[in-house]
Amino acid sequence: MNEINAVLESSHAAFQQYKKVSGADKSVFLQAIASEIEALGQPLIATAMEETNLPEARLVGERGRTCNQLRQFAALVKEGSWVDARIDTAIPDRAPLPKPDIRKMMVPLGPVVVFGASNFPFAYSTAGVDTCSALAAGCSVVLKAHPAHPKTSAMVAHAIEMAVEKTGMPKDVFIHVQDSSFEAGKALVQHPLTKAVGFTGSFSGGKALYDYATQRPEPIPVFAEMGSINPVFILPEAMMVRGDKIAEMYAASITQGVGQFCTNPGLLLSVENPALKNFATQLAERMKAIGPGTMLHSGIANSFVKNRAKALEQKGVVLLAESVEKAKENQAASTLATVKASEFIHNHQLVEEVFGPYSLLVTASTIGELKAAAAKIPGQLTATIIGEEADLIAFADFIDLVIEKAGRVIINGVPTGVEVCPSMHHGGPFPATTDSRFTSVGIDAIKRFVRPVSFQNFPQQLLPAELKDNNPLGIWRLVNNEFKK
Amino acid sequence: MNEINAVLESSHAAFQQYKKVSGADKSVFLQAIASEIEALGQPLIATAMEETNLPEARLVGERGRTCNQLRQFAALVKEGSWVDARIDTAIPDRAPLPKPDIRKMMVPLGPVVVFGASNFPFAYSTAGVDTCSALAAGCSVVLKAHPAHPKTSAMVAHAIEMAVEKTGMPKDVFIHVQDSSFEAGKALVQHPLTKAVGFTGSFSGGKALYDYATQRPEPIPVFAEMGSINPVFILPEAMMVRGDKIAEMYAASITQGVGQFCTNPGLLLSVENPALKNFATQLAERMKAIGPGTMLHSGIANSFVKNRAKALEQKGVVLLAESVEKAKENQAASTLATVKASEFIHNHQLVEEVFGPYSLLVTASTIGELKAAAAKIPGQLTATIIGEEADLIAFADFIDLVIEKAGRVIINGVPTGVEVCPSMHHGGPFPATTDSRFTSVGIDAIKRFVRPVSFQNFPQQLLPAELKDNNPLGIWRLVNNEFKK
């Protein structure tokens, strides 16, 4: 592990320089990364297509999102108010004791280790949100490439290195590690100079990193976005009024991107009524018609087959539909199963994620049973309620309970499709993530990699620009309890 | 542990009601707690004096601070902007996909377990910052009374219960637990309905709770404020110009409240020069003249004797001064020791806290040695730099390094005395606390007990007031990227 040690030493040295770089200069750097990624052109898309089996349009779109994210963080740090500056000026003649001058702002934590994700080779990998928000915060980044797309990762890493060079950033502010061994990941998390970890992937992977990090002599925060089955509650009135439309919408959502999204709806819950049977038939017919899709890599395809089989063999679970077309190698068949809520409530296995185009329809015989089933669902990234106005009023208390389970609650929509905007929270109570208080999508992701520091009685010339009296950066600050620029 | 289970069940049931209480009503409740505490009058002060050995003036002051804190949080939740509301309205005709309406705000985590501290029987105990910020956030609280002041805790708990009754809050929104056993504390942290923990006390106590919490099947956040030795760096020019004044200021700070503050300066560091010897003599003379003080309880007094002895027996450590007056039972002698930086650098024991009126003067032979000694100091609540203008300019890089170690950095002051204001950060890198990103003093303490939730496509009538179009609460919000009321 000498190599890992050298990596962290270099990253730490770069951090000592980088933490002093201004928001304006970090902004130029992040924009340059976006431009360098775009400059890679079609060869980057072709390489990613080859390594991930994802279609061209999806990858072009994801590249756009990745560069958009970089530019959003660039704008955020250029504007500068994100540091949450607060100023309380001195009151020297206050009785019984004088009040000192105290000012506070966010400072970066230090070197951050980021693990690339397999299902988003651009947006959650090498130059994805974790890297991008850590760099925006002023942290150096050590990126462990995902072994499923090493060439793609190397190309993006090179783009970042070009941006580092062109904008004069400290050389090792970003270091790309191409060691896919379990030991390397562990050593990166356990290294004393590592100050935080970002991860997107499986529950077992994320939980292992969390355990390493919290059991270090000096524990560090881990932001692991892990499994989620994203329950969808279809309320009775909506089921009767527009069951067909809901079936159409959900057949598409369950199978979108071969179900390889963390927000994939893996669980549909409803109450038995005449319309439910029709809905199940409609959804089943649509799922049969949707062909199998090629998954990201053979490991994920094999896991899908294994996890689907395990789900289908649970007591009371019935296979309702699968793609009529037979799945070829590395392909996953679109799958719909069903189970009664009375069984679901007693079987913890049924809330385990089956990553891929799979969903389980849970049918409750009463509203009480639907609520009992909801209570058994652990923390989630999202939860969705499908309801008519009458449903939503009748189920207001239920919606209240659902909010306790999830990081994002959607009414009359699908959980897939995560908007990148300030009001997006992509996170949720454990086991969806290891820290429900932070998001891994949107500008607030920067908050994961900073901590506040108070500066007491500092002379003006020693204060960071964000805290100087004359507000040279023109940022929003809370000054003596008044929010102003 | 049936009793603990019943406590958490009741707290959870109360939370279901309390989470829906408006900011205005929570504000009335918090103000009522302050009034009820004040209404306890002199008997509360007398009881606390008897149980803690703290002098009357200090306890009267601390009660004032406690009620002031309650009223600050009352004002915060009444005003309401703390929920960090963000709104991104829909763009139905956006291409290629419509943009949904998404809104985000903070919601409370759930039942919080708070451990009272021994050294602040009011401000960090039963109705202290942890309780107060958790209630402000909308969480229910289970308070484990500190066994060193059970009567004081019971009186304050009764005041809270009176406020609950008078303001019509859910009955079990606050539950007082008077079980001092180790097992009860562990069971409270491990109970599945507990969603966060607040603690102020020793490293061993805080770290044990952290380990229980992070090793639960569902890990939860722990905000433990633990030991800190609060290093003070006295730079050469300042030492020469005003060594006498610094000695006077620090003799008072080291012995204030019998050294029983988390911000007590347990470590002074400087570079050898003619003035340093004079400073050491001056400080030693003053420490000798300051009599021993009675500590909070016999356990703390015994620990002081033991930890002081352990520190003094370390290689190269020399006792410079102690109170001339002999310490009686439960008293601690004001103590100053010294050691060369060359020894300090190699002895990890010397950065362990000696809780009480003790400080260690570390003398470096060169500035390089001073920097090496600074590098050996782990995370701290505070760090202080004493310097003339010339020092501060010459040591700018050093100050930069010091900022990495601490939650608050003070120039030309003392670390004792923690101002309660929005710009105060009372926290710091591990082992000072278990989470450097949060404060346990000031209004930002509320952020420990909340998480963001996104509301996607919610009809107006189902949205919380904070997120409705017409902004009925008149709070600051980020609306389509524009910050406004």
CA distances from B34 to B74, B116, B134, B160 (A): 10, 17, 15, 9
Question: Percentage of chain B with pLDDT > 90?
Answer: 96
pLDDT of A1 > 70? The answer is no
pLDDT of B95 > 90? The answer is no
Of B147, B146, B157, B137, the closest CA to residue B199 belongs to: B146
pLDDT of A455 > 80? The answer is yes
Return d(Cα A311, Cα A322) in angstroms, integer. 14
pLDDT of A389 > 90? The answer is yes
CA angle A68, A73, A75 (to 5 degrees): 95
Task: Write out residues 434-463 of B within 8 Å (CB-CB) of A.
Answer: 434-437, 439, 444, 447, 450-459, 461-462
Task: Write out residues 41-100 of A within 8 Å (CB-CB) of B.
Answer: 86-88, 97, 99-100
Contact B102/A421, CB-based, under 8 Å? yes
Contact (CB, 8 A) for B447 and B138: no
How does DSSP assign A95-145, residue by residue?
A: SSSPBPPEEEEEEE-S-EEEEPPSS-TTTTSTTSHHHHHHHHHT--EEEE-
Please state, rounded to an integer, the average pLDDT across all residues of chain A.
Answer: 96
pLDDT at A276: 97
**Pair of tokens at residue B452:** 């963001």
pLDDT at B1: 66
ipTM surpassing 0.85, yes or no? yes
Chain position carrying tokens 């061993």: B204
Minimal C-alpha gap between A320 and chain B (Å): 30
- Pairing assessment for the beta strands B141-144 and B267-271 based on DSSP bridges: unpaired
Mean pLDDT computed over A138-167: 97
Task: Write out residues 382-421 of A within 8 Å (CB-CB) of B.
Answer: 389, 392-393, 396, 399-400, 403-404, 406-413, 417, 419, 421
CB contact A325 to B (< 8 Å): no
Minimal C-alpha gap between A466 and chain B (Å): 13
Return d(Cα B60, Cα B128) in angstroms, integer. 15
Mean pLDDT computed over A145-164: 97
Contact A425/B454, CB-based, under 8 Å? yes
Contact B427/A459, CB-based, under 8 Å? no
Minimal C-alpha gap between A365 and chain B (Å): 26
Contact A427/B107, CB-based, under 8 Å? no
Of B9, B60, B34, B5, the closest CA to residue B136 belongs to: B34
Contacts of B299 (CB under 8 A, 6+ apart): B148
Contacts of B395 (CB under 8 A, 6+ apart): B235, B385, B387
**Contacting residues of B for A406, CB less than 8 Å apart:** 453
How does DSSP assign A406-423, residue by residue?
A: EEEEEESS-S-----STT
Contacts of A461 (CB under 8 A, 6+ apart): B393
pLDDT digits (tens, 9 = 90+) for B290-342: 999 999 999 999 999 999 999 999 999 999 999 999 999 999 999 999 999 99
Return d(Cα B141, Cα B108) in angstroms, integer. 12
**Pair of tokens at residue B229:** 């030795």
The whole-model pTM stands at 0.95
DSSP B447: G
Please report, as a single letter, which amino acid is at residue B159.
A
| β-pair partners for B38 | none
Contact B214/A214, CB-based, under 8 Å? yes
Cα atoms in the Cβ-side hemisphere of radius 13 Å centred on A363? 19
Return d(Cα B83, Cα B463) in angstroms, integer. 14
Contact B437/A107, CB-based, under 8 Å? no
pLDDT of B420 > 90? The answer is no
CB contact B218 to A (< 8 Å): yes
Q: Which domains does chain A have, with CATH numbers?
A: 2-226+435-484 (3.40.605.10), 231-411 (3.40.309.10)
Question: Percentage of chain B with pLDDT > 70?
Answer: 100
Contact (CB, 8 A) for A180 and A206: no
Residue B127, Cβ neighbours under 10 Å: how many?
32
List A161, A225, A237, A466, catalytic entry:
A225
pLDDT digits (tens, 9 = 90+) for B132-167: 999 999 999 999 999 999 999 999 999 999 999 999
List A67, A132, A139, A262, catalytic entry:
A262
pLDDT at B463: 97
pLDDT at A250: 97
Provide the 3-class DSSP secondary structure of residue A232.
strand
**Contacting residues of B for A221, CB less than 8 Å apart:** 435, 437
Residue B397, Cβ neighbours under 10 Å: how many?
11
For testing contact with chain B, the best of A94, A348, A437, A466 (most B CBs within 10 A): A437
pLDDT at A95: 87
- Let me know if B225 is a catalytic residue: yes
**Pair of tokens at residue B66:** 């406690």
Return d(Cα A284, Cα A276) in angstroms, integer. 12
Return d(Cα B33, Cα B161) in angstroms, integer. 8
- Let me know if B132 is a catalytic residue: no
Contacts of A141 (CB under 8 A, 6+ apart): A11, A111, A112, A113, A114, A131, A134, A135, A173, A174, A175
**Residue burial B419-437, b: 16+ Cβ < 10 Å; e: rest:** bebbbbbbbbbbbbbbbbb
Return d(Cα A201, Cα A209) in angstroms, integer. 11
Contact (CB, 8 A) for B228 and B415: no
Contact B104/A434, CB-based, under 8 Å? no
Nearest residue of A to residue B408, measured between CA atoms: A454
Contact B454/A409, CB-based, under 8 Å? yes
For testing contact with chain A, the best of B249, B381, B437 (most A CBs within 10 A): B437
B97, B109, B422 ranked by CB distance to A86: nearest: B422
A404, A451, A483 ranked by CB distance to B436: nearest: A451
Contacts of A399 (CB under 8 A, 6+ apart): A385, A392, A409, B462
CB contact B104 to A (< 8 Å): yes
DSSP B117: P
